[in-house]
Each structure stands twice: as structure tokens, then as C-alpha cells.
Amino acid sequence: MQRIRLRYTKRGRLRFTSHRDFQRAFERALRRAEVPMAYSAGFTPHPKVSYANAAPTGTGSEAEYLEIALTEARDPERLRLLLDPSLPAGLDVVDAVEARTSGLADRLTASVWELRLDGVEPAEAERAVAAFDAAPVVEVQRRTKNGVRTFDTRSAVAHLESVTTHGSPADRPTDRPCAILRLVVRHVTPAVRPDDVLSGLRAVADLAPPVPAAVTRLAQGLFDEETGAVTDPLAPDREAEVPEPQPAAASAAAKAPA
């Protein structure tokens, strides 16, 4: 059985698709592309697909990951090119590698998020960021299926900054100020989401955007505590790729003395 790991995106209006909607669309794409999927046993077999840390509904993403199991070996890049046209525009498969290491989910320990705040002056956002960074604890409340929970957002945020950009999002108005925040959030329990950080900014600095923020996950992977970087979780699989065998003549020539 071969395992392939894929990175895919949620762009534009497709950010509003739920995880279950994506599962249905992806399984249809597997059938259209005639991928030789491995199936589970039992009365209702289903394709062996493992999804890792999906982004919340309503947020865009450039870095979602999943793993599929095949009954026949396939070239990862050719498989990606077959799958991508079978998915709706916005749900795009952008990377594929053969799984040669274990623990993909264990390598997803942090995410890089971008928050676009229409109607917020950049200077106002910078003041809010400074107040958030200076606070030792920033508690917020969120309603969960087990009731209202209170948790600290400050400890989960490894980095938060207000950034400037020369562009503007195509689906947002351009005649009003727009602040852009970049943050690195550790994957902790309970999970701290970008909207929780916005609640924390409102609590410590009274930052309240007049319209909902446009949230996009730019990356997710293993968090390096020394550098503060979030590394590519598929890199270990690429580095573990088995080199193609050399022809016997070339191998003999390489071993021959000069």
C-alpha cells in the first residue's frame, strides 16, 4: 500500500465550505480521476483518507494537509495533476509527496495566519498589537459544546505583528483603511483560533473592526522555538526520497580509479 500526502488550498468563496463538504468533493474527485484508492473494511467501506487539522469554516487557507492510501503505486506529481482539475476552483491541490516518514499530524504544531481588518487604521492595529504583547495573560471566553470556556490566548500566540502591503484583497473594498495582522499560533488544547485572538485584542485594546476579518492560513507545520519559523511538514518526506538506481555501467565508472 502506498501513501501520498497532499497540500491543498481553500480560496475565495470556497473558504465557506465546511470540512464535510470538502470531504464529499474530494472523494468525488478521487472517483473521477480513477485513483486506485484503498478502502476500509466493514459494511460501509470508505476511502482511506486522513485529514490533518482542518481550518475552521469561513477561513481561507494555503496550507491544508491530508494523506491517502493507494492499492497501486502512483507518481505523486502525476496524481496531483489528475486530481486538481476534478476539484472546484479554489480547492486546489498544490503539492504532493510520497509518505516516507511517520507522524504528519505530529509535525503540525503551529499555524501562520493573516487577518485583514477593513476599516481599521494600521496605526490603531499597531497599538493593539503592542498592548497584546505587553499583557502577561489575555483571557477570552468561547461557547463550546461543553458550555462556555475561558482560556488564555496570549500563551498560544508565538508572534503577532501589524504588517504593510501594497496590494488589497480582490473581494474587499479599497476606499477605506485596512490593517493587516500576521500571527503565529501554537496548536494547543483548547485550540486558539484567529477569532479568539481578535477577541483578545478587543479585550486589551478595544480593537473592534467594523466588518468581519478576512482570515487566511498561510502556513502550518513544525514550530521552531529558536527561530520562530514554521517549517514545511512535507520536507522530511522529500528528504527521505529513495534515489533512483544508477545503470550498472555508470556505477562501475563511478567506482573505477582515476
Confidence of residue 258 (pLDDT cuts 50, 70, 90): very low
Which residue would you say has higher pLDDT here, 249 or 243?
243
3-state secondary structure of 21: helix
CA distance 95 to 76: 9
Residue 245 pLDDT > 80, yes or no?
Answer: no
Do 2-105 and 108-231 fold alike per CATH? Answer: yes
| Cβ atoms of 154 and 205 closer than 8 Å | no
Span 9-34, pLDDT tens digits: 999 999 999 999 999 999 999 999 99
Domain ranges of the chain: 2-105, 108-231
**Grid coordinates belonging to 91:** 480547492
b/e burial code for range 8-26 (CB count within 10 A of at least 16 → b): bbbeeebbebeeeebbebb
Confidence of residue 148 (pLDDT cuts 50, 70, 90): confident
CATH code for the domain defined by 108-231? 3.30.70
Beta bridge partners of 150: 141
**Grid coordinates belonging to 57:** 469554516
| Cβ atoms of 158 and 223 closer than 8 Å | yes
Span 44-59, pLDDT tens digits: 888 999 999 999 999 9
b/e burial code for range 157-176 (CB count within 10 A of at least 16 → b): bbebebeeeeeebeeeeeee
Kindly indicate whether the domain formed by 2-105 is annotated with CATH number 3.30.70.580.
yes
Confidence of residue 145 (pLDDT cuts 50, 70, 90): confident
Interior angle at CA 170, CA 166 and CA 172, nearest 5: 95
Span 188-211, pLDDT tens digits: 988 999 999 999 999 999 999 999
